[in-house]
Amino acid sequence: MQIDGQTIGDVIDTFELLDDWEERYRMVIDLGRHLPKMADEDYNEVNKVRGCTSQVWIVHDVDADGKIHFRGDSDAHIVKGLVAILLLIYSGKSADEIKAIDAKAMMAKLELGQALSPMRTNGLYSMVARIKDVAASA
Which is the catalytic residue, given 52, 82, 85, 103?
A: 52
Tell me if 122 sits within 8 A of 107, measured CB to CB.
no
| Other residues' Cβ atoms within 10 Å of the Cβ of residue 62 | 13
| Cα angle: 101, vertex 105, 106; to 5 degrees | 70
Alpha helices, DSSP H, located in the chain: 8-17, 21-33, 77-90, 95-100, 103-110, 118-137
| φ and ψ of 93, to 5 deg | -110, 160
CA dist., res. 120 & res. 53, Å (int): 7
- 41 is an active site residue: no
- What angle separates helix 21-33 from helix 77-90, to the nearest 10 degrees? 80
Active-site residues: which are they? Answer: 52
